Chain A
């Protein structure tokens, strides 16, 4: 029997890796500010006009899309293999692929729609 080859695996790993790097670089500061410091009143939340100018800028949208898309593929890869190895559910491989990578693809499309509609 021929060994199963998945030529797409290196691409998925590259996306996982890029997403891991992007989320590790950007997210700690963002989750600290947006998730903790602003809601808890440690720091004043940015005023609306400033944030609007910042977030609607084409470069910001592009960066946000990159971070969102890569981070979703990062999640897909890690989460799939956590279930695959952690729960040892090799027989559910197809389902895991669909849910994880499919979820990342759908999520990226939703992100693009929200950012540029």
Chain B
């Protein structure tokens, strides 16, 4: 299975959920937000969301910035 994570292709040999992906990436769950194929996935749904081939995942956090 190949998914696109923040624009980069990633291969997985076995099924993986969003929650597992975030744990594997060692990201702080309370400080990030996740979009799957352009729709926000609520934190409570990460566990139940299994990734599928060709999924587009965006994981964002916050950075210093005033504007553009």
Chain A bound to chain B? no
> Residues of A with Cβ closer than 8 Å to B?
none
> Residues of B with Cβ closer than 8 Å to A?
none
